[in-house]
Structure 1
């Protein structure tokens, strides 16, 4: 998949239940991130224990969901990432 130059990534500051899948996460985008889930941007959700991350993306034909689970270590706090920002390369 290629990510266009105008695509931005938005991270949810709150921990999210990682049992949620595409539908559950897409319903969280508007109330928590104030964005349209069909915008084509990347929406990043981190689990409570920070060992899991899900990224939701609309590609004009449907949603795609990426899931990463670390075997060691943790992702940075979503609140910290949202405050300082991050690049697509870091993502």
Structure 2
């Protein structure tokens, strides 16, 4: 599902540091305050980066529910 971004109408990237300890409600608040957008907008995905830059969270509204996905880069050995 997230391997192909062609299904999204809008991809929003929150620049700068976002506290990734935030849950769904916290990320929704960031979208409302920072982007001045409704996070329930169909076809939109919101991306947030942490301080270190080794992980990213995605917030999207799909089938009537908010979903959060997290991707963490592997440490190089």
Q: Tell me, which stretches of 5 or more residues in structure 2 are unaligned?
A: none
* Separation in 1, partners of 2:64, 2:7: 19
Q: Which residue of 2 aligns with 1:85?
A: none
* Separation in 2, partners of 1:47, 1:30: 19
Cα deviation code 1:46-77 (max 9, x no counterpart): 0011011000000131011110011137xxxx
Contact kept, 8 Å, 2:8 with 2:45, in 1: the verdict is no
* Separation in 2, partners of 1:70, 1:6: 23
Q: Tell me, which stretches of 5 or more residues in structure 1 are unaligned?
A: 74-91
Q: 1:6 to 1:50 in 2, by over 3 A?
A: closer
Greater share of strand: 2
TM-score (norm 1): 0.69
TM-score (norm 2): 0.80
- Cα RMSD between the aligned structures? 2.0
How many pairs were matched up?
73
Q: Which residue of 1 aligns with 2:18?
A: 16
Q: Secondary structure at the match of 2:46?
A: strand
